[in-house]
Structure 1
Amino acid sequence: MKLLTGNDLPTGDVIWWTGGDWSRHVEDAVDVGDKGEAIARAEDGARRVNAPYVIDAEPTANGPRPAHIKDRIRALGPTVRPDLTLKPADPAAGEWVI
């Protein structure tokens, strides 16, 4: 089984390809098979995702499970409490300018 993952452009959140859109939940991901690279190129070109890539996964009763520990950690969300992260010196550093 192959999954497509990347990061959401506005938020940086880890996202997973659902077959027609993106989800923040790995349980929603679908097997992209051999079409993953083509989908990644199209989605990257459409600026809907940052740095998409294909990973190996295993199907389970609760949805797909990434095969590599790095991607399992990414699927679970942040590994530190947000209140313990470094705060930027510039309060506006986290704001998006479009």
Structure 2
Amino acid sequence: MKLLTGNDLKTGAVTWWSGTDWSIHVEDAVDVAGHEDEIARREEAARRVNAPYIVDAEVNQGTPRPVHIKERVRALGPTVRPDLTLKPADPDIGNWVI
């Protein structure tokens, strides 16, 4: 499985390609294998994301999970302060800015 990730140009937030748009939740990411270069070029040209790139991932209990530890930290947040980790059910997540 291949995921497309980058950073939102307005906020700097880590984003994941969801198939139609960008999401800050890795759970929304979709497999882009075979189309990764085309999507990355199009989205970078649209100036919605900075430096999109592909990461290897696996499905774990139905959820995409980056294979490399660096990408897992980008997806889930800090490893030393669990209280800082992004939580999908957080009502303030829409207002979250780095």
What is the TM-score normalised by the length of structure 2? 0.77
Residue identity opposite 2:70 in structure 1: K
Give the Cα–Cα distance (whole angstroms) in 2 for the partners of residues 28 and 70 of structure 1.
19
Over 3 Å counting, the alpha-carbon distance change for 1:78 and 1:51 in structure 2 is: farther
Contact 1:6-1:53 within 8 A present in 2 as well: yes
> Which has the larger displacement, 61-70 or 1-10?
61-70
CA RMSD, Structure 1 to Structure 2 (Å) = 1.4
Aligned length: 81
Residue identity opposite 1:5 in structure 2: T
Structure 2: 5+ residue stretches without partners: 82-98
Structure number with bigger Rg: 1
SS of the aligned residue for 1:34 comes to coil
Whichever structure has more helix as a proportion of its residues is: 1
Give the Cα–Cα distance (whole angstroms) in 2 for the partners of residues 61 and 7 of structure 1.
26
Partner of 1:47 in structure 2?
Answer: 47
Identity over aligned pairs, percent: 69
Partner of 1:17 in structure 2?
Answer: 17
Structure 1: 5+ residue stretches without partners: 82-98
Give the Cα–Cα distance (whole angstroms) in 1 for the partners of residues 35 and 16 of structure 2.
15
